[in-house]
Amino acid sequence: MFFDAMGAERCKTIDLAVMDMWKPFRKATLKNAPHVQIVYDKFHIMKHLADALDQVRRSEYKRVNEKERRFIKGQRYTLLSHKANLDTEGRKSLQMLLKANKRLHKAYLLKESFGQLWDYNNPTWARKFFESWKEQLRRQRLEPFEKFAVLIEKHWEGIISYCHPDHKVSLGFMEGLNNKIRVIQRRAYGIKDQEYLMLKVVTSFIKEQK
């Protein structure tokens, strides 16, 4: 529906498409804009990684004894948040948790370090980083992380595309745009007219004249 609304000629002008790693998104885009460069959304990729860490947390909670569980219980937010976003109490809880459980400690460090991938401008160095990251994962018995590594490998071209200097799009802007559209829909109690919704989105970006 999006590409039909754009029209064949306008579709030819699309250079870059940012999307989630959902196969129908990729297939529809390449069908209608075959020369487009795909960049997979960093936020959705990191969500997959956070889900992998949470799976490790849950499996460890089941595996350890009652005494060790007290360090894990109620710490989901603490574990999944960036350390810089935690308050003093949160950092203290995180430190105790990671000290008490080696597997969660390793999983947490792997999650935190993976974000460096988007700092590279050279695909070769980005690949070396990923190979090093996978090497750290070996022999850790972290099955959810191993599945995540396979997912990244499968979608590598769309992920590494972000390394190109011309592809350093503001992924935060894309996520903000999606949120703005949801807010417009909620305020209108669900807009049914798609053309009207498109106009509302466009006009929401028009700056007021002083």
Q: Are residues 7 and 82 in the same domain?
A: no
CA atoms within 13 A on the CB side of 204: 16
Q: Are residues 189 and 156 in the same domain?
A: no
pLDDT of residue 199 exceeding 90: no
The whole-angstrom separation of Cα 136 and Cα 210 is: 56
Number of structural domains found in the chain: 3
Q: Are residues 67 and 31 in the same domain?
A: no
Mean pLDDT (whole number) for 152-156: 95
Q: What share of the chain is helix, strand, coil (3-state, %, to 5)?
A: 70, 5, 25
Q: Are residues 66 and 155 in the same domain?
A: yes
Q: Are residues 56 and 156 in the same domain?
A: yes
Report pLDDT for 113.
93
The answer to whether the predicted template modeling score (pTM) of the entire model surpasses 0.85 is no
Q: Are residues 152 and 188 in the same domain?
A: no
Report pLDDT for 58.
92
Q: Are residues 28 and 66 in the same domain?
A: no
Mean pLDDT (whole number) for 42-64: 92
Band (209; pLDDT cuts 50, 70, 90): low
Q: Are residues 89 and 134 in the same domain?
A: yes
Q: Are residues 19 and 51 in the same domain?
A: no
Residue at token pair 């390394």: 163
Q: What is the mean pLDDT of the chain?
A: 88
The residue segments making up the domain with residue 197 are 170-210
pLDDT of residue 154 exceeding 80: yes
